[in-house]
Amino acid sequence: MRLERYTGTMYTNGVFSDIDDQIVCEDTFTLYVNNTQLLKMVASDDHLRELGAGFVICSHIADHIQNVTVCDDRIYVDAEVTGDFQEILESSGGAANHGTPRRVRSDQRVKPEKIFEVRSAIQSDAWLKTGALHASVLFYNGELAIRCEDIGRHNTVDKVVGHAVLNKLPLSDCIIGCTGRQPSGMVGKVANAGIPIIVSRAASTDRGIATAEETGITLVCFAREGRFTIYTHPERIIGSDGSGG
């Protein structure tokens, strides 16, 4: 990920001082699906194959990815497109989801300690240095599979999902952790990917919670040291029914 140094003037407690900050760079990439231009994406410049694959899956454009290549500022995804591609082109307009989000089916259950582990993995050195990045993490079989950062919170979801898709990890056995809030568009992306548990350090919205309920996702927000809030499908968190196990 590209970072550049910029000078500035900081005002603190009545005193001005010169500073030298690391600033994250933003770039624009064009996404092609089956050699047809779909949209332009503003993103950070790493994990671009994952970004392309994940966007196509999370946007319900395709069920299977055949190949992803990156050439300069262009991302080419070959995929088995669901439905009429022209309709998708006309209706997407850069939106996060095409059509109604899918319902997630998974038997995965985890202990509360795993929620805290996911929460701890979200924070990154780059976020601490710049304050400008969102991050998402993907856990598979209880272990951290990947952490991705980007200037856009939606992009981080696409990147970790793309990693799973390209590495053939079963998404129903995964947990995703995010720094950002969880509105309906974010939850819908995760539903289309088939991931059953979302852990966020931030809040959700009314439609985010409704989408999680409708799609069968366990939505965990306000993940902090020693506490979190489960809004939907708590049965996946062991002990949430008061049984203790």
**CATH number of the domain enclosing 142:** 3.40.140.10
Q: Is 241 helix (H, G, I), strand (E, B) or coil?
A: coil
Q: How confident is the model at residue 3, as a pLDDT?
A: 86
Percentage of the chain exceeding pLDDT 70: 88
* Domain assignment of residue 44, yes or no: no
Of the candidates 143, 138, 187, the residue with the CA atom closest to the CA atom of residue 166: 138
Percent of the chain at pLDDT exceeding 90: 80
pLDDT of residue 94: 44
Domain that holds residue 181: 112-236
Is 179:127 a contact under the CB 8 Å cutoff? Answer: yes
66 to each of 43, 74, 83, 103, 166, how far by Cα in Å? Answer: 23, 17, 17, 23, 9
Over residues 120-135, mean pLDDT: 73
Question: Structurally, how many domains does the chain consist of?
Answer: 1
In a domain, 97, yes or no: no
Write out pLDDT tens, residues 210-228.
Answer: 999 999 999 999 999 999 9
Helices (H), 10-93: 48-58, 85-92
Answer yes or no: is 37 within a domain.
Answer: no
**pTM metric for this prediction:** 0.90
| Span 123-143, average pLDDT | 79
Which one-letter amino acid corresponds to residue 26?
Answer: E
Q: What is the pLDDT of residues 37-64, one digit of tens each?
A: 999 999 999 999 999 999 999 999 999 9
Give the tens place of pLDDT for each residue, 106-118. 999 999 999 999 9
Higher-confidence residue: 90 or 189? 189
State yes or no: pLDDT of 244 exceeds 80: no
DSSP single-letter state for residue 75: E
First to last CA, the chain: 42
Residue type, 152: G
124 falls within a domain: yes
Question: Would residue 209 count as lying in a domain?
Answer: yes
Cα(211)–Cα(43) distance, integer angstroms:
26
Rounded to an integer, what distance in angstroms lies between the CA atom of residue 209 and that of residue 207?
5
Asked if residue 170 belongs to a domain, the reply is yes
Asked if residue 140 is part of any domain, the answer here is yes
pLDDT at 89 exceeding the cut of 50: yes
In a domain, 137, yes or no: yes
